[in-house]
Structure formats: C-alpha cells, structure tokens
Structure 1
C-alpha cells in the first residue's frame, strides 16, 4: 500500500462531511431551582435509579436461576425461559408490577405516580443499554471489555433523562430565563437561553431530549438538540511545496503536534504553552488532602459516619478538582475552536495516549501525570466533531509515522532522536528546527498527499506493515556520501517494551 493510499484509507471516515446535514449538539444550562423543585429533582433522579436497579435485578435473577438449573443437570429445553433484555419488554413488565414494587414499606402507599413516567422509562432504557453493551462485548460485536452492569448506589451521580412530555425552553412573553421539565414545571436558569431559543423559534433546531443532573454542587440541564450545519466554503488546500517552504505552511493547512512541554505546536511556527492546570492547584490540593487524612472519615467495616469537618474538607477538595477540570476544558475548547475556524485542513497524529500512560513504574510517574494533565486525547476528540460542524477537513496521520524523526526539508528519517534532544538537526542536509515544529511541518505536508494526490517519501509504512516483523534496511546516503539514518521500518511494533518506550518518548515531546 502506498503512503497516499494508507493515509487516505485512515481518513476516509473523518474527512469533511456534507455541510448541509444535521448534527446533534448539547446545550447545558445551570439551574437555580427553589427548595421544592430541588426535592422534586431528587425524587425524579431517585425514581430513575430505582427503575434501573429493579430492571437489573429481574434480569440478574433470571440469569442466576438458569445458571443454577444448569448446574443441577436440567436439560436446556426444561430451563426457565430466558428474559428479554429489550427496553420495550422491560418497560411493559414494569407497567404490570409497578403497583406492587413501588410501594412505601412503612405506609404501604404507592409512590410511583409522584414522578413523571419518563423517570422510570429512562432508567429501564439505561439498564437495557448497559446489558446490551455487556452482551456485545462478550460476543465481540463491541470493542473493549465491558463488565456486567452493577446496581446503582444512592451516592451515585444524580441524573434523570426526559425524552417525551412537556420539556424545553419557556419562551412565552420573551422569557429567556426558564426551562420546562415534566411534572416539575418551569425552573429558572442562571444564564440566558437566548441562543437556543432563537434557533428553536426559527425552526433550525429541535430539542430531542433533556437530561437533568447534579454535578459539582449545582443542578444543570443538558438539552440534546438536532440542528442543521451551516454551509461553509473551504479555503484551498496547501501543496506539499508550500508546506515546507520558508519554514511555514499555507494558512489553509495546519499540522498540529501535541505534547507535554508545549501543548500544541503548529506548522506555522506558533507554540501554545501547556498551562499545566494540575500543577497550579497541586499545593492547595495537597494541603486539603493532608487535612482530610487527619479527620474522621467514613468506615464501612465499622459503620462509622464521617465527621462534618471531613465532609466540608471533601467539598473543598471537589471544588479544587472542579476548577482544575473547568480551566483545562476551557483552554482546550478555545484552542480547538480557533483551529477549526481559521484553517481549512487540520492534520494531527493518531496517538495511543492510553498506551503511553499505562506502565513505566515510579521513574515514569511524572511523565504519566503530565500526559494525563495535558489531555491529548481530548484535543483529538474535540477536533473530530468540531471539524464536522464547521466543514473543516481533518486528517489523522498513521500512528507509526515518525513525524519527529523525519526531516521536513529533505524527508530523511533519523535513526534515533531521544526525548531530551529538543532541536532537530538533519544529518543529511543540515536542516535545524525545533523538534516539535519539524514534526508539525511533516504533518502539514501529509495533507497534500491525500488532497493533492501526490506521493511523499517521508511517509512510513502503513499500520499493518508496521506490526509485522521488523526488517533491516540500508542507510539512505546522499550525494556527499553521509549516512543519514534508516527509513521507518516498524521497529515500534506491538509486544516490544523497548519499542513502546520509544513510541512514548517520540510523541510525548
């Protein structure tokens, strides 16, 4: 497979879609409920949790019964009939027994009518989805491992979803400060809903569902909105020649090399510093956690209840984590939004961040912490959906493409480039540049391979070839007879610890 075909195959599913299609967006508003509304919100969240646990208990009891019968030697034809896991069947079963299970044990009063039916339907639907994911993971239809669903505790995150009924924005009389939820009524918001209201009134957006949750000490509602993407004329794509000329690229194509020292280095030469949000709040967090260790916390073995001071300290710790996460999220959103608005094509690397932080021991603990704080995978995730919204092209370079080791001037690949070497120096042509900027230039040049149909000598082997047994290639020699290193030969294949460490070093900088 040629370099152009390999990259085009990997980017076929994420290139810019038709700008006239519709997408699903989330609009989140912080709520300012009254005390009575807070109780109603908690009741609905508890109702959803109750329905989830009830549905899971029914399915689990059926599975356990069939397993026990098999252990007794009962033939399969005589086993207890299996129970359907579909949301429709579980919801139908719930309607037949809800008057018997949703009863207060002290008074015998049926309490399910106090909440909207959507609370129970969404809980049952969530259970059906969890069971389906577990089943698909066991059969291989779903990637990754998925354990059997667990019962939800009262201490879990409070959440309730509404898909039918009277929910949405309150727009009567020009009101832009209230949202409507079933059985709860109009709840005031802490911010204006004008932006979404204009779209719903104009008919360019439709609210499909509403999810209310309690996070970071605040109630919030998230509307799932179906909206139409506006058309956008894409700027012309840069050529491979313009990508390497004068150390910069055309403004319509930008290669982005992410790392720890600099959060992102663009092929235009711009270097975006890593704010290191965790380090900024580490001193305060360390002080609060030491204080909590000296206070009386909960103990499940002895049944000891936590002290009020311990609870207040935990609230302060959660507040620090919230500020850190919000600052990180805000910075990443501003960065990715600027990228997709200013350029027509963005080229990034396919980094295995999970594998980069999976092992290493104590000597690599600091690097792992820095990689998690940088949230490199979040940058890729945001770019993926934001490029679809704006019509910008997104190309993802091959995971094994040696962008840092390749000279952006002559396309010769260095044999080794340690992480502590921050300046790239080509042994063949003498080209010198910051290693991250050099990698970004190589990424930008890859866009011309797909969009322009040209071939590039800098492109390594495709993923399948890189995972095969490494082969030894002769060193590339120029006219002056200087050995300039070997091409990328897939030495970082799977199952090789040394190769994994080399991959981590290359992409973390």
Structure 2
C-alpha cells in the first residue's frame, strides 16, 4: 500500500463507525476477511518455500551459483504471481471471484510488510524487539480485517449509510454527520476504508485527508506536569501553582465481581475442545457472549475516559510534560500489573502526543531516570530512597511535607519551564528533557559501611569516599542548571 502524503494544511486522520449489517452482508464481510487471511498464508508459504529449498540444497553441497533464486516479497511481485496462481491453485478454485480484489491485496500487503519488518530487524535497522519470520495465520485466532483502497467508497448523504466495494450500502449504528459534512464541503477526501470485526461488532474506519486548522488552547503560556499513578490516575500541576487530581475510575476492578460470576457460569457449560473436536453447546455460546459483553463495556468505558482526560489537558495548556514510563517493565510486577494495565499509561501518553501536535502545542518527555518523586519541588534536594509505599514526601533539607504525586507533578511542571528558558531541551514538540543526574541509568545508592564511618570519624577519607564526594558534586552541579 502506498503512503499518502497530506497537502500543506491537511492532516490524515481516521473516522471510525460501528456498523449494523444485514445477515447477507455480514456473511460477505466474513468472506472478505477470510480471503485476506488466505492470501496472506499463500504469500508466506510461497516466499518461504524458496528459503527452505535453498537450505536443503546447501546441505547437499550445491554451490552458490546453483542454488534456487530468492523469491521476491514486494507487493507488486506478490500481486503478479498471485493473480496467476489463484486461477489454478485448488485452494482458491471456485470461490476467489466471490470477493473483491482488495481483500486479496490486503493479505498480500500485510505479508510484504511482515517480510520487510523481519529483514530490517535481522539487519538491525528496526527498533524494538527482534521480529521473527512471518507465520501463517490461524483460522481460529486471526483478527478479521479487510482494507479497501479503490472502488466505490463513500458516505451517503442520509448520514446513516456507507457504501463499500462489493459489499454495497451498509447501515451504520451511529450518525456519520461529522465526516459527511466535511466531504460535502470539500474539506475532506476519503483515501481508504477498513472493515474490522472486534468486540462482537463490525466497524469501518475511513482514512481521510482533512483540512484542519490549529485549535488554539485556553492557556498557551501555561505548562503542566502530569504524574500518572494507580490510586489517583493523574495529578496535574501547572506553572501557576494550581493542582488538579483526576481519580482513577478503575473500570476493570469495578466489573471483577460480575466477570467472576459469569466466568463460573461459562465453566459449567460444555465448551469447545479442539483436541477432541467437541463443539460448544448453545448454552455455552450464550454465556460466553454475555461475559464478552462485560469485557467490551469495560474497554469502551476506559477508552472514553482516557479520551476525555487527554482532550481536557491538551485543549487547556500550551506545554504538557509527561514521563517516559517503562510500562512493559511495570507490568512485570504481579501485584500492580492489573491496575497498571487498567489505567492505560501508554495510551495516555500516545493520545497526549498526537493531540498536542493537532493543537500546535509542545510535548516534553521527561527522562525515564529523572527522579521526579525523589526531588524536592521547593529546594531541589534529592532523596536517596523513597519506597513506593511511602505516599508523603518529607524533605530532609527543608520543612516541605507534601503528597509524593503532587510533588512529582510540580517537578515536571518546573522541568517544562527549564526547557522553555533554554537551560534544557529547546522546547520543540516531542522534546526529551535532559537527564539532570548526568547518567543514562539509575545511580546505585548504597549505605556507608562501618569501615567508611570509622574512616570518616578518624578524619581520613577512603578512595570510595572520594568517588562519592566527586559524584555528589557532579549531581549538585547538574541540578543547579535547573
């Protein structure tokens, strides 16, 4: 799939709507998504066949010149070969004409992207975890999705129907007024549409090129620090000294009792068993649907609450400071994993990042090692240790006593002021704040041994004491920059 470059003054965004398809249309949508999965599996098998053939030939001592040629995995090459193979391949004979060509292009494009990611990851050109070889998608576990880039893709004038290639006109569960009004005014152009089955419903997402002006925030000169937590979802402290606390709705914890009761009901029914071929009973399907409905409601409530929170922040402040939290590492804590996942720390940062760009504001990302909770927001002294169960910050150098989350939010707000005044990162969008401790990792704090205390009492300084004093002077010098 080619990438669309928006024109000056235009941005590419998505409009997502729930669908209410008829039984016939629903069956056609399942067929299109199955066709995308089948073409993906064909591409993976076709490309990897040459890899295994070359490996077998190398084991027999075949020279490099005599090995089977590598099969290309670019999208144009896959399309060309697939269009010839689908007419003679028994896996597609008799039914491939029932679906739009876009369904097969979706699977081929996904396969090409998967092979590109694997190659770049193996060469060290891709960030993140190592990506393995593409694998075939299972019929039982694959996500159902199909993308349309050509053909009749439009939003009807009645604002309650959409038209897609081969699927025809489908009724939407909600009004499409926002998108239809922009398209009719000429301020938006639909680039593609993607149907997806998730959470028990069918959705359609339109990729739209929209003419959007910068939305002016209420207080562009004010910076705010956002400290995320579990007991309190977010504590916001702005540069004017105002403090706001957003309570954690804890949607999943609220629904745990209901989910437990419904899960026990599902366990008492006769469920599916792929090993023995046992099919689920109708009572199991009904109970499982009721349980899934609760899960879907929790997910929708969480998404709605996070969007309202991030929209409130980005529409009011000109600079937003967030922390670079190691969410994946935090989820390894078995005591807090459920609550951290329910809070959605990563989603909050993602939404703040793109919404500040939409409003022309600034996002400052504090370093992962920045001690926002351990630093005194009044005098700047840094505590050596501050356990998580200690919820009140009591400074050792000044009489400040404050809630630790409020203290962290104040430090983040001050970090934004330092970046704007030129002592830190030059307040650009998505700027990363410097490391005030002058280190790329946590400083190891240890208690002085008895031998060190005896040496200090006798007036002699040991080598490790001299190193500690040098490190303290370096940290103090770095902190004075703020």
Give the TM-score category using the shorter length.
Answer: 0.7 to 0.9
2:24 paired with 1:36: yes
2:199 paired with 1:225: no
2:182 paired with 1:199: yes
SS at match of 1:80: coil
* Aligned counterparts of 1:270 and 1:32: Cα–Cα separation in 2: 41
The Cα shift of 1:103 comes to 6.0
* Aligned counterparts of 2:384 and 2:442: Cα–Cα separation in 1: 18
- After TM superposition, list the pairs within 5 Å mapping 1:65-80 onto structure 2: 65-80=53-68
Counterpart pick for 1:472 among 462, 468, 482: 468
User: Which residue number in structure 2 is paired with residue 460 of structure 1?
Assistant: 436
User: Which residue number in structure 1 is paired with residue 259 of structure 2?
Assistant: 285
The Cα shift of 1:44 comes to 1.2
Change (3 A) 1:237 1:167: closer
* Aligned counterparts of 1:435 and 1:52: Cα–Cα separation in 2: 51
For the 8 Å contact 1:460–1:487, the answer to whether it is kept is: no
Counterpart pick for 2:168 among 179, 185, 192: 185
2:143 paired with 1:147: no
Spell out, residue by residue over 1:158-201, the C-alpha distance to the aligned partner (whole angstroms, 9 max, x if none). 21100111112123xxx211111001111111111110112122
For the 8 Å contact 1:42–1:158, the answer to whether it is kept is: yes
Counterpart pick for 1:271 among 236, 245, 255: 245
The Cα shift of 1:309 comes to 2.2
* Aligned counterparts of 1:162 and 1:102: Cα–Cα separation in 2: 26
Long gaps (5+) in structure 2: 1-5, 426-433, 446-466
Counterpart pick for 2:152 among 166, 184, 189: 166
User: Which residue number in structure 2 is paired with residue 353 of structure 1?
Assistant: 327
Spell out, residue by residue over 1:101-121, the C-alpha distance to the aligned partner (whole angstroms, 9 max, x if none). 2666xxxx6322221111111
The Cα shift of 1:20 comes to 6.3
For the 8 Å contact 2:270–2:284, the answer to whether it is kept is: yes
RMSD over aligned CA atoms reads 2.6
* Aligned counterparts of 1:146 and 1:207: Cα–Cα separation in 2: 32
* Aligned counterparts of 2:476 and 2:230: Cα–Cα separation in 1: 26
TM-score, length of structure 2 as denominator length: 0.85
For the 8 Å contact 1:19–1:391, the answer to whether it is kept is: no
Q: Which has the higher contact order (CA 8 A, sep 6+)?
A: 1
2:272 paired with 1:298: yes
The Cα shift of 1:64 comes to 1.3
For the 8 Å contact 1:55–1:124, the answer to whether it is kept is: yes
* Aligned counterparts of 1:346 and 1:54: Cα–Cα separation in 2: 47
Counterpart pick for 1:425 among 391, 394, 408: 394
* Aligned counterparts of 1:57 and 1:455: Cα–Cα separation in 2: 52
Q: Which moved more, 1:229-238 or 1:296-305?
A: 229-238
For the 8 Å contact 2:193–2:205, the answer to whether it is kept is: yes
SS at match of 2:315: helix
User: Which residue number in structure 2 is paired with residue 404 of structure 1?
Assistant: 373
Long gaps (5+) in structure 1: 1-17, 239-251, 478-485, 490-509
* Aligned counterparts of 2:8 and 2:215: Cα–Cα separation in 1: 9
Counterpart pick for 1:58 among 43, 46, 51: 46
2:435 paired with 1:451: no
Counterpart pick for 2:109 among 122, 125, 128: 125
* Aligned counterparts of 1:120 and 1:44: Cα–Cα separation in 2: 8
